[in-house]
Amino acid sequence: MANDINNYITIEGNEAVQFEFARLIDSINKHDKKSGVGVEEVLFGESEPTRDWSIKNMGAKWVRVDDALDEDYLVLTSAWSACEGVQDKIHEMLKKIDEDVEVHMIYEDEMPLFTGYRVLWRDEDIDHVEDDGLDEELYNIAEKAGEGPWDDTWMEKLEEVRDVVMENAQEELNEHKRKEHKNEQTI
């Protein structure tokens, strides 16, 4: 059973949004080092989150900051599920600056039993995940190649699966954008 979920959040938007995202990351990094409570306090104003609060607001039992040192991405580890609430909150905050901001999140459990890609844009929530026997498929591929888990063949197949999931999500996002553009032209 999965426990730790790796979450990698990035954004695409105008300069003002990029600046604000960098400011949020810097603030999360400072709070997390000082108190161990970065995401909760900076994004939600909560300094003593309970388990129920975390699940309801962040999408996971707990969320830990793994990397907030660069200004264009945020790496988080969460318990049992992707931290969709964190992504939602970032989107909510940045959307006030640029309604066309895209907030992307790659998420994957530690086995990996699943790997997914979620994009928020305007009112669209696009989520593609591969979870149908992924771990068994990876073990079988590695075994056939005479390798163990996490060796080259395993990683190549995992990257291939990740790419397909991301491409599918991106195609869906592009389709929404085409429809929106078409709607804007008819107005």
The domain locations on the chain are 1-110, 131-187
Check residue 130 and give its pLDDT. Answer: 84
Per-residue pLDDT averaged across 54-66, rounded? 89
CATH no., domain 1-110: 3.30.70
Q: What are phi and psi for residue 2, nearest 5 degrees? A: -70, 150
Strand stretches in 13-112, DSSP E: 63-67, 74-79, 102-109
Which of 7-11, 27-31, 104-108 is least confident?
27-31
Check residue 187 and give its pLDDT. Answer: 67
- State the chain's mean pLDDT as an integer: 87
- Tokens in use for 156? 């190549």
b/e string for 14-39 if b means 16 or more Cβ within 10 A? eeebbebbeebbeebbebbeeeebbb
Per-residue pLDDT averaged across 125-140, rounded? 85
Q: Exposed, middle or buried: residue 123 (CB in 10 Å: 0-12, 13-18, 19+)?
A: exposed
The rounded distance, in Å, linking the Cα atoms of 69 and 41 is 18
* pLDDT tier, 99 (very low <50, low <70, confident <90, very high otherwise): very high
Residues 6+ apart with CB under 8 A from 54: 40, 60, 61, 62, 63
Check residue 1 and give its pLDDT. Answer: 44
Per-residue pLDDT averaged across 100-121, rounded? 92
Q: How many residues does the chain have?
A: 187
What is the reported pTM? 0.86
Check residue 126 and give its pLDDT. Answer: 93
Establish whether the linkage from the previous residue to 112 is cis, with ω within 30° of 0: yes
Check residue 135 and give its pLDDT. Answer: 80
CA atoms within 13 A on the CB side of 36: 3
Q: Is the pLDDT of residue 125 over 90?
A: yes
> 137-173, pLDDT tens digit by residue?
888 888 888 888 778 887 888 888 888 988 999 899 9
How many helices (H) and strands (E) would you count in the chain?
6, 6
